[in-house]
Chain A
Amino acid sequence: MAIALVSAAVVANRTDFSARAEDAPAPPYTVQDGTKVDQKTLDGWKTWRALACERCHGAEQEGLVGPSLVNSLKTLSKEDFHTTVINGRPEKGMPPWGGSDMMVKNWEGLYDYLKGRSDGAIKAGHLYPIAQ
């Protein structure tokens, strides 16, 4: 729940997308050892995997046909991220995922996951839940 509130705060506060580092809010994910994450982030990663995002964005989000998300998530706002995944960018080859229940349910977790990848805090590859 705490994490969800942090995410909401990010949405509310981030109007300046080029915010300086000292203004950066706490990360929206919780991670241990680079591979253990909170449930919401884990669901985000599972969504990444199930929708085969790596086919265009690369197994390490480094970019293939699609852009590097390691780079994009440094500047892309959460709002723009949401718009992009739901509506797609068909002219560039990005599918609209609004028809995917998994994406509609987990897009925030996906954002958190990719943010963690972009920050270098979450490792590429398989993720696991943080032990309760």
Chain B
Amino acid sequence: MKMIYARPILGGLAISTALCLSGIAAATDTETAMANPSDWASQAGDYANHRYSTLDQINASNVKGLQVAWTMSTGVLRGHEGSPLVIGNTMYIHTPFPNNVYAINLADQTYKWKYEPKQDAQVVPVMCCDTVNRGLAYGDGKIFLQQADTTLVALDANTGKVIWTAKNGDSKLGETNTNAPHVFKDKVLTGISGGEFGVHGRMNAYDIKTGKRVWTGFSTGPDDQLLVDPKKTMTWTNGKMAPIGKDSSLKTWKGDQWKLGGGTTWGWYAFDPKLNLVYYGSGNPGTWNPSQRPGDNKWSMTIWARDLDTGMAKWVYQMTPHDEWDFDGVNEMVLADIPVKGKDTPVVMHLDRNGFGYTLNRVTGELLVAEKFDPNVNWATNVDMKTGRPNVNAKYSPGTTGPDVDVKDICPAALGSKDEQPSSFDPKTGLIYAPTNHVCMTYEPFQIEYTAGQPYVGATLTMYPTPNSHGGMGNFIAWDPATGKIVWSKPERFSVWSGALTTAGDVAFYGTLEGYLKAVSTKDGSELWKFKTPSGIIGNVFTYVYNGKQYVGVYSGIGGWAGIGMAAGLSEGHEGLGAVGGYKDLAKYTTLGGSLFVFALPDGAGGTAKSANNVQ
């Protein structure tokens, strides 16, 4: 049933799409499906986290005619992050806890099979920021589900039958999972959540055939647990790459605090098959009370480049040493080859929670660009390009002021200038299209004791729209990763917590917390179309072709950190109290939901194969 696809001639900047599929002796079924734009075979559509589709039936000139094609309830009323997968004539959808999986026949939208796991409800209270799940992975004829209770499950893609399971953590210790598993070649990679419970963050790789754990690379601790070579693992040091040296993590923690060090790994990972390197970010160090954990707390808040087969780290770069704000470094790693300072460069691009957009040479780890992608970011004035360290503004440094002092007007807030909501890279324009937050905070740290399985936070904070700005809590931006400049910025009333999609039709799609799915021009951000779904959107937009027709879809179901205020009981009298005021406003627009929306152009409006130049 798969459409035969003639790839359009790619422009100069589009080499990055091609590189991810080249240099492989025998493509895996994941890679074959990802190469077919009719499918949406991984959460980002490719290894490189582009969230870009070469489809262009739906384009800037006709997107205004987009209509609902079909919808489906997921049956769960909580935050719906991630997106479905489409392989051939089957769509695979997932839900927040209890993490049900449904295979849907695209011919008539009936269920082919359902998988409804039984999980201990005790895991729910341990989950931070709503019971979200960021979606499934596909490979080796299997669908992979990373359950909240840390069980990684391999299901037969045809029948839904369990083929293997693996235990990835211990929820009694506060370990849970919200991330999507990622299939890279013959391995399934999955991280861990629980940065607010003093967990010991790590990345795990499992054998796709058997579910046997192949390697575990921790974020903090001794060299053998980190999977680093003190002489060969490199980092940016005084303007050049140098070995990290012995005990690079241990030396940056007091005593054995690294054991509770956090550095969790719940974001979006990327893979370069040519280099055989996996890229991902680690999260905040354990306890939000910075004065309680002196040191740089390596390697929390770090971009990692690890060998897929061995887990050994080739290079690391710590973005936020000694975090004082909860700026987890887990956001998506985006790979492309772009011209930087006049030279074609293989890069990894990353818009971090801390408000800086980073571009590094992904082969060597050299720091090329580090600039603010929200002009209101104030916790640091800049990143010193020689040391690679941020110049922290003491006025906004809770670690400097010490416990029990309320530090006001730190920008961005803990949920960052951007959180997990993944951006899209459009190889046609060479730009990143990013859903962002525009939120500031007060932050009051306090002394905290560790008890296994209980919150290990140690700070109270309040979040509110960026003062003296447009009044909204979000922006949708176009970002030039080669120069570190904002190309355009479209203000939004609320945080944009939906993953973006760009297409060869020169359209960028994203959802809003009010529930709109929007299409904007990739050139200037002008709004081309919008549709109000029943609930706020925190899911990621995806696209596929079925029977010669292009579809665009997204989950509608508010929740997650940005939407937690929706659930219940917002009382009167909190206007002006930051996030509560913002959330209260949100309640005017939407409420909880759980559904999938799929859109298409009506027949005759460009929505059939005959008008497409790329579907035969």
Contact = CB atoms under 8 A, between A and B. Distances in A.
B121 A64 contact: no
Interface residues of B, number: 37
B460 A99 contact: no
A91 B121 contact: yes
Interface string B112-144: 000000000110111111110000000000000
A101 B454 CA distance: 11
B569 A71 contact: yes
Interface stretch (A3-11, A26-34, A49-57, A76-84): A49-57
Interface stretch (B32-40, B241-249, B442-450): B442-450
Nearest to B458: A50
A99 B565 CA distance: 28
A36 to B, nearest CB: 15
A59 B454 contact: no
A125 to B, nearest CB: 8
Contacts of A20: none
Interface centre among B406, B461, B568 (most CB of A within 10 A): B568
A64 B448 contact: no
A100 interface: yes
A64 B125 contact: no
Given A60-B580, A95-B126, A126-B406, A65 B567 contact: yes
A62 B122 contact: no
A126 B404 contact: yes
Contacts of A101: 451
A55 B124 CA distance: 13
A67 interface: yes
A93 B125 contact: yes
Contact of B462 (A51, A55, A59, A66): A59
B292 to A, nearest CB: 12
| Main DSSP-derived SS at the A contact region | loop
Given A62-B571, A64-B567, A99-B454, A93 B580 contact: no
B564 A65 contact: yes
Contact of A59 (B404, B446, B580): B580
Contacts of A125: 406
Contacts of B448: 50
Interface in A91-106: 91-95, 97, 99-102
B451 A63 contact: no
B125 A90 contact: yes
Nearest to B457: A52
B574 interface: yes
A129 interface: no
B121 A60 contact: no
Interface string B578-596: 0010010000000000000
A90 B121 contact: yes
Interface in B141-175: none
Contacts of A67: 568-569
Interface in B543-602: 564-565, 567-571, 574, 577, 580, 583
Contact of B460 (A59, A100, A102): A59
Contact of A55 (B406, B457, B567, B568): B457
Contact of B574 (A56, A60, A99): A60
A88 B404 CA distance: 29
Contacts of B461: 59
B196 A49 contact: no
B460 A62 contact: no
Nearest to A54: B460
Given A55-B457, A62-B569, 16 more contacts: A49-B446, A50-B448, A51-B454, A59-B462, A59-B580, A60-B574, A62-B570, A62-B574, A63-B569, A64-B568, A66-B567, A67-B568, A67-B569, A92-B124, A94-B125, A95-B454
17 contacts: A50-B455, A50-B458, A55-B457, A60-B577, A62-B570, A63-B569, A63-B570, A64-B564, A64-B565, A68-B569, A68-B570, A90-B124, A90-B125, A91-B121, A93-B127, A126-B404, A126-B406
For the complex of A and B, the 3 pairs showing the least CB-CB separation, nearest first, are: A63-B569, A68-B569, A95-B125
Interface of B: 121-122, 124-131, 196, 404, 406, 444, 446, 448-449, 451, 453-455, 457-458, 460-462, 564-565, 567-571, 574, 577, 580, 583
